[in-house]
Chains A and B, each alone.
Chain A
Amino acid sequence: MEANKPDFQLLNHTADLGMIVRGKDLQDLFVSGAKALVQLMVKPEKPTPMQEVPISVDGQDLTDVFIRWLGEILYLFEGDGLIFHDIMQFKLTDSTWLEAVVFAAPFNPNNDEIIHEIKAVTYHQAYINCTQVGWEARVIFDI
């Protein structure tokens, strides 16, 4: 994998967009998932001044936390007009509580190319598995 590029592949889903995403550890998986989601939504033309944005989510299990985390990254773009770039702090507790601070840059409608309107991150067929080489998750987006 090229450095900083998310490790993911698209799944064939009739109506929506699905992906399998991988990471060497859980933090890497969460960052890769967020970067992959951004890649599906928007192609920023050039780096712009970054903001630090705190994000915290609680879920019932690891998969729930992952879905809610991606939901926060989606809202960051759709609601606040900010594009996730990377992670600054990441603390996952008991697989149910995540506190993070992310770097995000404002979306520039004049320069940044929009790719897809993703309506939501769904729970349908979502999973997170520990593999021999790290972690893997599946998620399907409503588009």
Chain B
Amino acid sequence: MDIKLEKIDDYRWLIPRSGDMRVPGLIFSSSELIAAVKEDQSLVQVRNVATLPGIVNYALAMPDIHWGYGFPIGGVAAFDINEGVVSPGGVGYDINCGCRLMTTALYADEIRPKIRDLISALFRDIPTGVGSSGPIKLSKKDEQKVARKGAAWAVENGYGHPEDLERTEDNGTMSGANPSVLSERAVKRGADQLGTLGSGNHFLEIQVVEKIYDKEVADTFGLFEGQLTVFIHSGSRGFGHQICDDFLKEMTRHMEKFSLPDRQLACTAISSDLGQRYLAAMACAANYAWANRQILMHWTRETFMKTLSISPRELQMQLLYDVCHNIAKLEEHTINGKKVKLCVHRKGATRALPKGHKLLPDVYHHVGQPVLIPGDMGTESYVLVGSDAALEQTFGSTCHGAGRVLSRSQAIKRAKGRSINRELEDKGIIVQSRGKKTLKEEMPEAYKDVSQVVDVVHCAGLATKVARLRPLGAIKG
């Protein structure tokens, strides 16, 4: 399908409304990045999202947009809560896949000789890989508590500190969770996967703060040049995958009212019983993911202290922030001067609130929300801060990562005859992975240049750069 694309300015591209589109599409990109976007089918997916009932303003895409299933990855769409729909495909299977960044009191230069030991210890202590299960075995009752309380359950059970919660989006607990709507399959899959990293693009990375762009905000975030940091990317594991699958399949049976260009866009009215049940189940998965990342952080703290033989005071591993990037949230936004309640779907997109926003924790109220953008394992990640422009243009959203540019089979072909592990070591990056193909499929060339992606959101004003982080070592599934 040929998609008409009009350049608005250096960073915004419009898909004009046509056919059954209810709103136009708006893509944040650059001349360099948009070329790759035109190569895959993500623009068609933006167009398809624009046909959904109750969509408000635009079907949006962030600069890391790439071809997903149903919604594009990097997609944002907001729906009127009275007339609009909720779509599990607009959230994704890995509900509340997200990132958390921890700061330390350590200088990377001092720890560099121990990075290999740290990576080996983390690889030993953090369950990784396909279908991995961890040492936590949840009873049905405890699993329900995790689903209701999220990261708060983890802290109550000794995994971390109460102050971690205020530095987590929604304090690590999404309201409205109701475990009684979950299938037996979801409960079964969630019983032994809490505290596991997973596989694919999920990772735990040791990094160094290479450059500070905004000292005032960086000071508030607790970041300084040369500092050692730890970045975790994981989600709700099989528990979330099952919940998405259960509800998507149920919604495909109730699609008579909607004529959809792609069955994967299956949706239902937000206000319907099915819509409300999905949101209650999705909140359970969101909470599971926040508990998961909280536990992973706790074990990371323990492993660092044990491996380096240092105290909590010497380590000072503190949570900077935890953000989700696969979620649907009921939020209040201003449309044409009026405050309205919307269901904002972010699939591969990060919330980015400006300073002064009522949902920000006190500690960041005067600077804005930290935005965490991981790159690939060979290049840098970024910390940004939310802005007013995001609230005005993208329902307070920005990008979530670099975004893939090569398929997995293309990446494996490109990696043939090469040792990705050795290439990374040559760049000073120690990596251990569980799956034989993981490093090849996740090689740096498989991703867009995260700097270009971040430059677009920075220049478009959706979020502004605070710091750049360079990887020193990583574990992957």
Contacts and interface: CB of A to CB of B under 8 A. Distances in A.
Interface stretch (B78-86, B260-268, B336-344, B358-366): B260-268
A25 interface: no
Contact of A12 (B92, B241, B252, B409): B409
Interface string B65-83: 0111110010000000000
Interface residues of A, number: 32
B241 A120 contact: yes
A124 B262 contact: yes
B124 interface: no
B253 A117 contact: no
A120 B188 CA distance: 16
Contacts of B68: 15-16, 124
A64 B255 CA distance: 13
Contact of B252 (A60, A75, A77, A114): A60
Given A10-B409, A120-B93, A78 B69 contact: no
| Chain A contact residues, majority secondary structure | mixed
A116 interface: yes
A114 to B, nearest CB: 4
A126 interface: yes
A40 B89 CA distance: 22
A115 interface: yes
Interface in B233-287: 238, 241-242, 244-245, 248-249, 252-253, 262-264, 266
B410 interface: yes
B205 to A, nearest CB: 19
B405 A119 contact: no
Nearest to B436: A113
A78 B131 contact: yes
A25 B200 CA distance: 34
A79 B477 CA distance: 19
Interface in A83-138: 113-117, 119-120, 122-126
A114 B435 CA distance: 7
Nearest to B92: A142
B67 A142 contact: no
Nearest to B185: A79
B198 A117 contact: yes
Nearest to A18: B407
A48 B133 CA distance: 22
Interface size class of B (residues with CB under 8 A): 35 or more
Contact of A124 (B70, B130, B252, B407): B70
B189 A117 contact: no
Interface in B384-406: 404-406
A113 to B, nearest CB: 7
A116 B185 CA distance: 21
A115 B409 contact: no
A16 B348 CA distance: 14
Given A12-B410, A16-B68, A117 B264 contact: no
Contact of B93 (A41, A115, A119): A119
Contacts of A41: 130
Contacts of B185: 75, 79
Given A116-B130, A117-B198, A140-B69, A14 B437 contact: no
A125 B262 CA distance: 7
A75 to B, nearest CB: 6
Contacts of B129: 114, 117
B32 to A, nearest CB: 17
A106 to B, nearest CB: 13
A20 interface: no
A79 B192 CA distance: 11
B11 to A, nearest CB: 22
A68 B266 CA distance: 15
B5 to A, nearest CB: 18
A122 to B, nearest CB: 4
A104 B5 CA distance: 50
A143 B477 CA distance: 12
B408 interface: yes
B67 A15 contact: yes
A78 B189 contact: yes
A139 to B, nearest CB: 10
B35 to A, nearest CB: 14
9 contacts: A14-B407, A60-B253, A113-B436, A116-B199, A117-B130, A123-B263, A123-B264, A143-B200, A143-B408
Q: Which 3 A-B pairs have the closest CB atoms?
A: A124-B69, A123-B263, A117-B130
Given A71-B245, A123-B248, 4 more contacts: A68-B249, A115-B437, A117-B131, A117-B199
